[in-house]
Structure 1
Amino acid sequence: MTGSLFSVHVRQDRDIVYARQRARFVAERLGFDVQAQTRIATAVSEVARNAYAYAGGGKVEFRLEEQAGRPVLAIEVSDQGPGIANVQTILAGGYRSPTGLGVGLAGAKRLVDRLEVATSKAGTAVRLYRNLPRGLARPLGETLAHLADALMRQQPLDPVEEVQRQNQELLRSLYDLRQREEELLAAIAEKEVLLKEVYHRVKNNLQIISSLVSLKARKARDGAVRQELEDVRSRIHSLSILHEKLYQSDDLSRVDLAGYVRDLCSHLRQSFLGKGEGLELTVEADPVSLSLDLAIQLGLLVNEIVTNAFKHAFPQGGSGTIKVALEVDEEARRLVLRVSDNGVGIPAAKHPGGSDSLGMNLIRALAARVEGELKIDGGNGTTVTVGMPLDQD
């Protein structure tokens, strides 16, 4: 069922103002709240202004319809202009003309429940639909009659009064936006507190697990088992350090990579101090922040490569140097991790590229996880290089 309310012919600027007034009045009488009234009136004025600007005028028709058993306010703005050639691009928000056509239609679409456009060289019809906020208190026919009577008695506002009313609507909208912004900031602050607490508890739990693994390692009689447990403990501790950095950070979604790697390498140096007091471990890192997932993978990768260097590069002890470097190429959006030592190197027959040790398998798997290119040079000392993209999902 469809019932026509009234129509407005748009032939000059003041007709656009009149159509806006009528739209707000009808929306108010149909029970829409103030914000919805403003949205409906703004959508009507935007589409009517387009018809006037691009087709020289048009007609705005207001109707009440029943669609799927639900009453709907339907407003159609039609013209006899040249049509719109790129209407889908405009509605998708991908077009901006110097005069603002794209903004008008795309903006109106966001203000109503549904917007449809029928366009050809013979003209354009834009249909705006807004579901009524609640069921009609009386049958559609009676509602139409009451609205028609109210519209007959309504006196149009002076254009200056309409501008003042629009200013009041703008101020009210700005006030509402400010309130929502404050509520959102409060919610974000609460979320950050909770997230920090999560990171703190994860760190504590990881440290407990690390201590339990360390205790188990000390009780192990088999040297190989003891070493594997110590390696597991080291990997767990690398995750604990990461969550500690997140807990202390102002940005809970990203990790300061340079600080994280320095702390991680400091922990590894202390862990192996008894096995090589003359060893020097240096870290040179360009400043960069990474997503949590990428930082986890990279931290484990650094842990495995540096641990391998401590364990295998200096079998006779003595002095030596292990260097960890992180280089950022902003232009190429790539990160290069390079770990080198001046130890014994890797004989060709024992090149890690063909090794099936757990450490090397982890290094290859982690390099793949960060979409990295792994290179190993074992001729003069050992250098392990992993180049990877910075921008990863």
Structure 2
Amino acid sequence: MRISVIGCGYLGAVHASAMAELGHDVVGIDVDERKIADLSAARPPFFEPGLPEILRSATDSGRLRFSTDIADAADADVHFIAVGTPQAHGRDAADLTFVDAAFEALIPHLREGSLVVGKSTVPVGTAARLADRLAEAAPHASLAWNPEFLREGYAVKDTIEPDRLVYGVADERAAFVLDDVYRTAITAGTPRVVTDYATSELVKVAANAFLATKISFINAMAEIAEVTGADVTQLADALGHDARIGRRFLNAGVGFGGGCLPKDIRAFTARAEELGLAESVAFLREVDAINLRRRQRVVDLAHELLGGTVNRRRIAVLGVTFKPESDDVRDSPALDVAVQLKGLGAHVVATDPEGIENARLRHPQLDYVDDTTEALRGAELVVLVTEWREYRNLDPAATAALVDAPVLIDGRNVLDAAAWRAAGWRYHGLGRP
């Protein structure tokens, strides 16, 4: 099919590349000239495993091209809107400026039978509003909402082999068109849910709210475990054997971050308040508060382990991205911890396999090094806050030889505590004795 993708950030670039890899004829549109130049040269403007390969394959085949001119989308049958919905400045609500701008810019270029498909994460009610606008300005076109469920680090796989497809539609034709778009996944047996606009919008934010709640729940248990001497990791293992609960997302530590979960649960709460239903999602305020407390706990623990002050103490921070296999530092717990320690006078040396450039743009006051060994050398405290494989695989004895003091905070509870203690380390996990 002929497809346009409006917005070529993280979501849009992956979606456009994956659709072209599946055989569609795709044009990606974005106002950022540098981003379009990079993508046209098959250079992803961010780190995502698997994306360089499909981007190169799709552009070389001629099935994928990029442009800054939205008029180049006019020949498409299906138009995906994949622009960002950041948190509004000074408020918890989602900022829909980019969604509305993309929608209005696209309207003059819609042909008879065109289908506009929203993929951006939006407050419930947005699709109905846009559908009314489309009926007024371009009644020859129709709207569907098709939320994304991408995991950073696995976005290519999640697009080509999704675990479910959700269509929010007002008529059967829109569902049939989307079936043609996703024919490969449907043929492979991917579950498909056809529903209304409101439900499709709620699926995404409800999923993020549930995952955030699960993470904050186990972190709340970690707070209790730290006081009582229980081991939150063993607690999570025991809970995970209950089929009603499951083990995934029950990993206690420094908490969640990134460009989705934090802002999405805040926007969901704000939207519920607008609807007069603040009580229904009041618990999400505490979910957010618990999450932020875990970052402070790492800072407090650093104080305790360094005798009451971090001032002028050399601290190695391993990781600045919000999760491994990503260069995303938006609302990163790791970067937040590093900045807080720096603000308290510590000499922070931070490292990360992929996120240093983005971190430096946001917080140039930190000292960054590319090499893990260099970051560790002379450290009086090591804080592991992003569970990159290379940090999980560090040898305790070899690492001890590099530092001035073998003191470690495992902010993700991913290391073998017994092995590190046997190598002479003062090991401290979160919620572990």
| TM superposition score normalised by structure 1 | 0.27
Greater radius of gyration (CA): 1
More strand by percentage: 1
Where relative contact order (Cα < 8 A, 6+ residues apart) is larger, the structure is 2
Say which structure is richer in helix: 1
